[in-house]
Structure 1
Amino acid sequence: MKAENFHSEFGKRLRAVRKEKGLSQTAVCKVLKLPTSVLSGYETGQRNPTITRLKILADFYGVTTDWLIGRDRYMYHKSDLIIQEPRTNYFLNDLLDASEEDLQKLQQLWEIINE
C-alpha cells in the first residue's frame, strides 16, 4: 500500500469509528488529552500517529491497530477476536476472500494433514 493510501485509509477508518461511536472530535480529544488539530490531522491524512498513540486510539475505540491502519479489511472489536495470534488472523482474513477452488484445495490438504 502506498504511503498516501495508507494515511488516507487510516484517516477514513479513524473518522468512521469515531462517528460510529457517536463522538465528536472535541469529546475524543478531551478524554485522550489531544489537541483537536492533532486528531483532525490524523483523520484527514495530514498527520501520522506514533505507535504509542496508534495503540491508544485503537484501545479507546475498542478496535485493532491492524484494522485502523488498513491491514484488516473487517473491523474487529478486540472482544470479538477469538484467536489472538496475529498470523492466524491474517490467514483467516485471506480465507474470507479465497475462491471456491482454493477453498476446496485447502480442504483436501487439511484432510491429508489430519490423516
Structure 2
Amino acid sequence: MRVTSEKFPLVTSLRLSEALDRRNMTQRQLCRGIGMYEQTLSNKIHGRRPFTVSDLSQIADYLGVSTDWLLGREPTETNK
C-alpha cells in the first residue's frame, strides 16, 4: 500500500529530519536499523519514490514516534 499526497513527501521529510536530529542519528544509522538501502531512503525523502505503510511503520517504530506524527497529523512529536 502506498501513501500519497501533494504535501506528504515534504512534511514527512521534514519530520524525519527533525526526529533524526533530535536523536543525533544519521540517515545511514536509520537505514541500518530498519534494513533499508541508503539510496532507497534518499529517493523516498526526495519524493522520487513513495513511502509505503510498511516503511512508515518501521521508521516510526525505530525512532519511537507515531506514524501520524511522521505524516504531519499530530502537531508535536510523541512516543508511542
CA–CA distance in structure 2, aligned partners of residues 46 and 62 of structure 1: 25
Could you tell me which of 31, 44, 54 is aligned with 1:29?
A: 31
Q: Which has the higher contact order (CA 8 A, sep 6+)?
A: 2
Please say if residues 15 and 43 of structure 1, whose CA atoms lie closer than 8 Å, have aligned partners that are also in contact: no
How does the TM-score come out when normalised to structure 2? 0.83
C-alpha distance in 2, partners of 1:41/1:16? 18
Corresponding residue pairs, total: 77
| Superposed counterparts of 1:65-104, under 5 Å | 65-78=67-80
Return the alpha-carbon distance in structure 2 between the equivalents of residues 63 and 72 of structure 1: 11
Runs (4+) of structure 1 exceeding 3 A deviation are none
**TM-score, normalised relative to structure 1:** 0.60
- Residue identity over aligned pairs, in percent, reads 30
User: Going by fraction, where is helix more abundant, 1 or 2?
Assistant: 1
Equivalence for 1:50: 52
Q: Which protein shows a greater Rg?
A: 1
Instruction: Flag structure 1 segments of 5+ consecutive residues without an equivalent.
Output: 79-115
**Local SS of the residue matching 1:4:** coil
CA drift at 1:25: 1.3
C-alpha RMSD of matched pairs (Å): 1.6
Residue 76 of structure 1 and its aligned partner are, at CA, apart by 0.9
**Structure 2 unmatched ranges of 5 or more:** none
Question: Corresponding residue for 1:97?
Answer: none
Within the alignment, does 1:8 sit opposite 2:2 as a pair?
Answer: no
Does the Cα contact within 8 Å between 1:29 and 1:39 map onto a contact in 2? yes
Mapped contact 2:33–2:62 kept (Cα < 8 A): no
Q: Which residue of 2 aligns with 1:64?
A: 66
